[in-house]
Every structure is written in C-alpha cells, then in structure tokens.
Structure 1
C-alpha cells in the first residue's frame, strides 16, 4: 500500500515538473529576455526613487514663485537641476511631477479595469439582450472623439482638480477592457466546467468571479500593465497641451510644455530634457516588460 502511495507521489511530482506554474513561466521568460529583465528592474528602481524622493519635497515650497531665482542653471545657488522662469526648483518639480503622472496613470488603469471587468463579465456571461444593449453603448463611446471630449469637460467642469481628471478619463476609457473581457468570457462560457456549475445551481456571481475571472486573469494583468503606459501617456500629453492637470499641480507634461518657448527649447535644455528622458525611459521599460509578460501567457511565442 505504501509503495502505491509513493508511486502516486512520484507521478504527481513529475506532473508538476512537466507543467510549471505561471510564476515559473514568467521568471523563465524574463531570464531569456535580458532587455525585459533590465526594463523591469529599471522601472521598479524609478518607482522607488521617485516615491521615496518625493517625500523630501513640499508642494507649496516647490511651486512657490521667486523671480529672483529665475532661470538658474544646474548647480547655481544650490539648485541641482536649476530653476524655471518662475524661480521654482526643477528637481522638486521632476520628482513630484513623475509621482503625479504615475499615480494618475495607475488610478485610471485601476478604475477602468475594475469597471471594464465587471461590465465585461456581466455581458459575456448573460449575453442576449443585456449583451446587445451594453455593446451598443460601448460601440457609441468608442466612435466618439474621446480626447476632444476630455478637453471639453476639463474646460467646463468647475473646481477642476486631479481627482476630477481621473474620473473624466475613466468615464471614456473603460470600454476597451470591457470588450476584451466580454470576448474572453464568451469563450470561457462554452466550457464544460461552466455548464456543470450552472447545472449544480451555483450563483451567477460565483461563476463569473470565482470561475471565469481567474481563468482569464493572466491576460487582464498583461493588458493592465500595457494600459498603464498608455494612460500615463494620455495624461502627460493632455497636460502638455494645457488640458490635463490644473495649474499648481506638477506633472511631466508641465515640464515638457516649457519647451514650447523657442528660447527655452534652444538655450535652456536643462528645463525640459530631464522630464522628456523620464517619459521615454518609463514608456520603454513598461512596454518591454509587458511584452515579456504577454509572451509568457502564450506558449507559441515564449522564448523560454
């Protein structure tokens, strides 16, 4: 009897070796892709440095105008990166602006994925008239000029702040993840375990969130990581145009916006160049790491 148990144990161990866990697959994929590994480490390092470093800067002091210190070069009078036209330290604006851009991008990503997952699971699970009605709403939102509408709302909303900006972006950008979840939920809904759960009388919400969602979670995680870069880019772009974060709230877009002045663009690169490089490095690192995760979820594309 004991010999039989040992054989079953050995068989289970062999099975585990043949089918590695999702975490092991991801680790193996990153080991094969050195660029993705470097990008992930670089992104985590930037996050830690920015969020820890921003604790040493006070927003009111950083954004306080002092014309006596206008356009100081890096290193002058103790300003490491210099100052802008208002005499405000660029180092503090860079740290706080990077933190704000990351937080806003992460907040929009979280809210849009939360709404999109719930709506997508509902329409994918029930189908029928529920699917038809909600999908027509999604189709209508997707054909709208979303960026133009965001600019209009930003202009019209009274007492506009960063929270308002996050809500406005969320209202329009949840539809993409909802469509993705719907397609995956429709595919999972045809599997035997879903039919068995319905036959056993399992509540619908348990089937959706306890059965379907865990099986599509890897795709959603990868999509959320790539959406983070996109949402950060939208915030930075709108702020650069003057329709993003309100005045007095630093962002990477506000620093890059200073390059619109030809004199600053030509003679004072220290004002906008660091922020531009931070944007470039953040976007590339997120995308390279996200591509490795995407390959890990698809056996046909894996390098490992």
Structure 2
C-alpha cells in the first residue's frame, strides 16, 4: 500500500473521529431548544396550548391587517343583533357591528398591550429587584422605601385619573401608563431571590477574582434564577391580558370605538344580552379563558425545561 493511501485513510479516520465525538457531545449535552421541545412532547396539553397560541396570534395579527377599524366600528342599526351564521359569521351587536371583526381587532389590541406591558414592566422589575437584592444595605433600604410608597398608591384610581385627563390617548399611551405601576410584584419577588443568591459561594468567588458588578448580576445571578423569571413573566403576561380587559370593562381602558375584549364582555351588563344575545359577550369571555390557560401551561413547561437545563449545566 502506498504512502498516499495510508495518509488518506489516516485523514478519513481523523475526520470520522471528530464527527463521532461531536455527535456524542451533542447527545450528551442537548441544546436548550431541544430540552424545551422534549418537555413539550412529554406534556401533550402544553404542546396543544402552544400550537393554539401560535396559530391564534398569527391569525389575529395577519387578519387585522385586512380590516378597516373605522368601518368595522361604524353603526348600522339595520343589522342590530343579527344572529351568528346568518348574514354575519358570528353575528352583530346592538350597533350592528360585526362580532368577528371586533374579536380580531380586540384580540390584537389586548394581546399587543399585554406583550408591551409585560416586556416593559418585567424588564424594569427584574433589574430593580436584582440591583436591590445584590447591593443590600442602604441601597436596598432606599429602593424598598420607593417600592413601599408606590405600593401604598391606589393604582387603579391613578390609572383611571391618568386615562381621563390625557387627551387622545391610544394603545401605546395606555401601555406606558400601566407599565408605570405593574412592575412592583416582579421586583419584590426577584429581590427576595437575589438576596439569597448573593450570599452563595460562587458570588463571593467572583467578587474575589475581580469580576465586575454588572457581570455578576446579569451573567451569573440572573441565569441562576432564570426559571423564576420565566414563570413570573408568563404569569404576568396572562395577568396583563386581564388588566386591560378589566379596565375596558369598567369603561376606562381603550378609547371609544376602539375594539377591546373587555368592551365586548361589558355587553353582559345588559340582562337581556346574557341569555338572548349571548354571542355579543360569550365568545370574548371564552377567548380570554383559553388564552390565560394556554399561557399558564406553556409557562410551566418552559420552567421545567429551564430547571433541567440548569441541572445539566451543573453536572
């Protein structure tokens, strides 16, 4: 056998070994996405909830692009209380407005507000709690006194006053107003966990080695409490859908002629609508229940996947 053939066989063997070692490493330490997917496959209700959420959100966001809000909310008395599956697919309300179009536009507004509110309030609350819990002492005392002051405020009343006095407010304005108050629960929870984490050996070792405060807080402590952050964020998202819906139900949510799930549920205030015109409010109520339950299932699976990923990382 020639020297070239021996070299070729040697190189092939080395390539095969490298490939096999890489495959073995991937099997031994699966990626985070694979761990999440395995958890979803093991929990069929959560997988079903995930599929429903993805399909529903995509449908709402795409379908709303083809609906003119002004025309959808225009009053047409001649079509008042049209029953479902007749002239209109899901019927109409007292003003002759399509329930199907209101559901699509209202879902887009409610979900958009909930996503924006969750991102802003959770980000601020997580950072606030991490800083207060890590530094402790005077910094923690000052930050917690600010928290206590905010907690004493009648939040719902303040939101109603702000919504009333701000002219021409919209979805973005309402999201910012709500974000100013709904960060406190997250900050308190994260602070309590950070106080415990900051006393552990890996934090002391990082301080001794000269690691910067920013890296310790956001690259070491925060990943170790990621499961708590994920659960709190998912629960906050479900809760925030209810926040906008509740305000709109009371008449202090989105402006008039802006579709909202809360406004649709408010149709049930009319006794005749509860039984006779059930389609004007029941569909929106069922949608909110399905959304909140789906978010709860998905959050539980992601929490379990995060815990499993952390255990593999520790091993």
Scaled to the shorter chain, the TM-score interval is 0.7 to 0.9
Alignment partners' CA distance in 1, 2:29 and 2:86: 60
Indicate whether 1:108 and 2:117 are aligned: yes
2:165 alignment partner, one of 156, 168, 171? 156
Q: Cα offset for 1:16?
A: 6.6
Q: Deviations over 1:130-180 (max 9, x none)?
A: 100111221333344433332333233333332222122111110111122
Alignment partners' CA distance in 2, 1:195 and 1:151: 46
Higher mean C-alpha displacement, 290-299 vs 260-269: 290-299
Alignment partners' CA distance in 2, 1:10 and 1:89: 60
Name the SS of the counterpart of 2:168 in structure 1. coil
Indicate whether 1:26 and 2:36 are aligned: yes
Residues 20 and 187 of structure 1, relative CA distance in 2, 3 Å threshold: farther
Alignment partners' CA distance in 2, 1:14 and 1:164: 52
Instruction: Give unmatched runs, 5+ long, in structure 1.
Output: 1-5
Alignment partners' CA distance in 2, 1:182 and 1:256: 37
Q: Deviations over 1:198-219 (max 9, x none)?
A: 3343332233223322333333
Q: Give the structure-2-normalised TM-score.
A: 0.83
2:291 alignment partner, one of 282, 292, 297? 282
Tell me the equivalent position of 1:231: 240
Instruction: Give unmatched runs, 5+ long, in structure 2.
Output: 1-15
Count of residue pairs the alignment pairs up: 295
Retained in 2: the 8 A contact 1:219–1:297? no
Q: Cα offset for 1:114?
A: 1.3
Indicate whether 1:183 and 2:192 are aligned: yes
Matches within 5 A, 1:108-257: 108-257=117-266
Tell me the equivalent position of 1:45: 55
Alignment partners' CA distance in 1, 2:176 and 2:100: 29
Q: Cα offset for 1:272?
A: 1.4
Tell me the equivalent position of 1:98: 107
Alignment partners' CA distance in 1, 2:32 and 2:49: 20
Higher mean C-alpha displacement, 148-157 vs 229-238: 148-157
Indicate whether 1:72 and 2:82 are aligned: yes
Alignment partners' CA distance in 2, 1:214 and 1:290: 17
Q: Give the structure-1-normalised TM-score.
A: 0.86
Compare CA radii of gyration and give the structure with the larger one: 2
Higher mean C-alpha displacement, 132-141 vs 21-30: 21-30
Retained in 2: the 8 A contact 1:71–1:85? yes
Q: Cα offset for 1:224?
A: 1.1
Retained in 2: the 8 A contact 1:109–1:231? yes
Q: Deviations over 1:4-48 (max 9, x none)?
A: xx99x9999878756654434333322222111111111111111
Higher mean C-alpha displacement, 150-159 vs 116-125: 150-159
Higher mean C-alpha displacement, 29-38 vs 127-136: 29-38
Alignment partners' CA distance in 1, 2:282 and 2:35: 38
Q: Deviations over 1:207-266 (max 9, x none)?
A: 322332233333312321121110001111111111211112111111111121122222
